[in-house]
Amino acid sequence: MMNHDMIKYYFGCIMISIEYLHSNNIVYRDIKPENSVVDCKGKVFLIDMGTAKELTPDKFFKTFTIIGTPHYMAPEIF
């Protein structure tokens, strides 16, 4: 069973990964437990960048598509 410190650490690793992607104008679009892995040192990484998309100014920083796993998508996306 995980304690609160481990949960905060794992969540923080995922948030740093997302922050890095966003700082490079990349939207991940499929955040779910199955798309994160923990290495032997305890660091968490996002995997499966197949649905990620780079946002560009010529497309007004929009994706124009809805992609993700339905059970993990926000209700307002539907």
- Report yes or no: 37 and 13 within 8 Å, Cβ to Cβ: no
Helix (H) or strand (E) holding 23: helix 4-23
- Asked if 30 is an active-site residue, the reply is yes
- Among the listed residues 30, 39, 48, 58, the single catalytic one is 30
Sequence-ordered strand ranges (E) for the chain: 26-27, 36-38, 44-46, 53-54
What residues act catalytically? 30
